[in-house]
Amino acid sequence: MTSAEQPAMHSGGQTGCNHIHPAATVAQGCEIAGSVMHEHARLKKNAELRDSVLGAYSYLSAGSMAVAADIGRFTSVGPGAYIGLWEHDTFTTTHTFYLYESSGGFCKGWRNFSRDSIRTVIGSDVWIGANAVIRKGVTVGHGAVIGASAVVTRDVPPFAVVTGVPAHVHRYRFDAATRSLLLRTRWWDLPRETIQDMVDKEVWYDINDLVAYLRTLPDMQAGQVAGQMDGQMDGQAETPQDRQAPQQKHRSRK
């Protein structure tokens, strides 16, 4: 751990309007407001987390920002990524002078934009590339990959790889049968001891080794710490891209 990345200085209870686990890590220059950070979650230098939940082992890289977002476990957010940022109203003017006292002193206090209450949902085991933008209200399924500088304006299915502006599905990481098994077993919700055993047995270098291990788990054990975002991210219907997915084996405020 570097000097710029120290454990958050609190006891794991409420700190102001934040709830930050004692094993979470917050680097220098970060801003946190009204948010929750679970165990081993990390904010790297100058990251911002506002009205959001950052799941266990997930991290926001330097300069990234999440607003009104629910982020799952083991999710990686690259530098300069924006998730669920505010959207100005455009009913009449695009400016905020009639909403925020700080925008010229026309009003007292502040009021929300009409879409401020809409939340953005990011699943577990998601990788969001550098400088990606994910629009407010989007749901990104478990295991998805968002390419660098992509602009995501619609929901992303589990294990899809999306790229471009606007982002589109380029391919799927695994075939449909493998995706189904991963969504049923939900390795990211397994007890830490089980994940440690998987690390010790080196199942993470080959999807076939991972699948073989998951098939040995009792049904009651797999996914026993079920997340709260299942209905939004699991069980999407098969798409034409599914048939093209390769059988993979490889080693290696404002």
Distance CA(62)–CA(95), nearest Å, equals 29
Q: Which of 21, 38, 88, 95 is catalytic?
A: 88
- For residue 242, what are its two tokens? 């599914």
- Cα torsion for 189, 195, 198, 203, to the nearest 10°? 50
Element (H, E) at 210: helix 207-214
155: three-class secondary structure by DSSP:
coil
Question: How many CB atoms are located within 10 Å of the residue 6 CB?
Answer: 12
For tokens 């710490």, what's the residue? 225
Catalytic site includes residue 170:
no
- Burial of 237 from C-beta contacts in 10 A (0-12 / 13-18 / 19+): exposed
| Residue 25 contacts residue 1 (beta carbons within 8 Å) | yes
Determine the distance from the C-alpha atom of residue 33 to the mean position of all C-alpha atoms in its chain, rounded to a whole number: 17
From residue 145, alpha-carbon distances to 15, 86, 161, 167 in Å are 33, 23, 5, 11
Residue with tokens 């220098």: 28
SS3 14: strand
For residues 198 and 212, the answer to whether their CB atoms sit within 8 Å is: no
Distance CA 249, CA 17 (A): 45
Residues annotated as catalytic (active site), given as ranges: 88
